[in-house]
Amino acid sequence: MGLIQPRTLKGFRDLMPAQALRRAELVRTVEDTFRAHGYGPIDSPIIEYAEIIKGKSGGETDKELFEFTDKGGREVALRNDLTVPLARYVAQHEGQLVLPFRRYHIGLVYRGERPQRGRAREFLQCDADLIGAEGPAADAEALVTMAAVYAALDVGTVTLRVNDRRVLNGLLEEVGARDVAVPVLRALDKREKLGEEIVRSDMRAAGLADDAIERVLAACTPRANDEETLAALEAAVGANAQARAGIEGLRAMKALCAASGCRPGALRIDPSIARGLDYYTGVVVEAQLDALPDIGSVGAGGRYDDLAGLYTKSRLPGVGFTIGITRLMDAIEALEGEASMACPSVVAITHPGDDRLEAVFAFAAALRREGVACDVFPEARKHGYQMRHADRRGVPYVFTLNDDGTFHGKRMHDGETRTCTNAGEAAAWTQSR
């Protein structure tokens, strides 16, 4: 039997150690920020009944599902986001939850779309959601948390582009397009990616007249500042009550975000943001990495007050967002280059021979108690080989056991050396860098 060719499926990828470490650091920062804002973790299965996933995600996204019949004859699918499974989760466990309920969920999701830069078929999402609360305060809390995550990640300036589906729905009512709102909003959502002419063509195909198309596109163009944008929207929607409520909600939400200390300019009112999914009912948001806007949004979300209604008669309004870690990593690699070889150890301890291993293992354990990540070379090799191995891995410090029981330390980047009599001294030196 011949060898099987080692390969990965298109749209999926392996992470090398440096990439995996980078992702783990990003995820750790996201989790810390979520918890600082009162969100706790949950988990749920990667595979759900297909009817759960298809509940109201929209026809276009249904085409991207990985779905199949399992060995029990059940129609199942891999989750394509974390929001629809959350709606199922809160409906199923409603009696065990205290509302309002804040949760975060970090997990892989799957979409059978065409792989390209910034788009993979398997990617990691980091979601935070507030279930059981309505109004500008709940919306603002979600956006404040979202802005805090990007500030903590320190990946460069990220702008949250915010709109409200009530404004868009009211605008479409005013131009006589309420019955074709779904295809029109999906077309609008592709404006930046495909250009206005294709959007006009798609809106025309949906049944929108040319004058109505121009009114929608004009109203959904951001102005020089948020107040001018909101004023233009007010003029476009007239007295439409739904749209007016959305505009006032945006004003109130922005004021609360400013009061929380969000960076000036972190939020921008952008009426072109529509979000293609059908389940959004209020505020919608997309996060743009300003240094690399063409990679697409590095996070998104919004309000979905009716989604849990697919699974329960209880009213369970929700608002939340996702941080797109996989796309964010793609952006970081594009801006900074691929992560260099790295390992989690700060210290490598060379192996002087089996007769000295107990002393080396005791030193390693003492370093770890001091909070220093370290490892011991696992084989009896020449000292030079072990030093080269540590250098290739990118370990900052190497310690070697001396005959007198002390440890000789070397800082690899500049060659500085120091003799330490115990782990406390060694830890203090490594932590002073």
Q: What is the pLDDT of residues 50-65, one digit of tens each?
A: 999 987 545 566 788 9
Q: Does domain 17-336 have CATH number 1.20.58.100?
A: no
Beta bridge partners of 151: none
Q: What is the CATH number of domain 347-431?
A: 3.40.50.800
Question: Does 331 score more than 80 pLDDT?
Answer: yes
- Same CATH topology for 17-336 and 347-431? no
Give, to the nearest 10 degrees, the angle between helix 181-189 and helix 196-205.
170
Question: Does 122 score more than 70 pLDDT?
Answer: yes
Residue 283's pLDDT is what? Answer: 97
Read off the pLDDT of residues 35-47 as tens digits, 9 standing for 90 and up: 999 999 999 999 9
More confident residue, 337 or 108: 108
Task: Band the pLDDT of 247: cuts 50, 70, 90.
Answer: very high
Specify the DSSP class assigned to residue 386: H
CB contact at 8 A, 84 and 55: yes
Query: Per-domain residue ranges for the chain?
Result: 17-336, 347-431
Beta bridge partners of 160: 267, 287
**Neighbour count for residue 381 (Cβ, 10 Å):** 13
Beta bridge partners of 337: none
Pair of tokens at residue 203: 């809106």
Task: Band the pLDDT of 334: cuts 50, 70, 90.
Answer: confident
Mean pLDDT for all residues in the chain: 91
More confident residue, 117 or 3: 3
Residue 60's pLDDT is what? Answer: 62
CB contact at 8 A, 395 and 17: no
Residue 214: half-sphere exposure toward Cβ, Cα within 13 Å: 2
CB contact at 8 A, 367 and 409: no
CB contact at 8 A, 255 and 176: no
This prediction's pTM:
0.88
SS3 188: helix
The pLDDT > 70 percentage for the chain reads 97
Tell me the pairing of strands 40-41 and 101-110: parallel
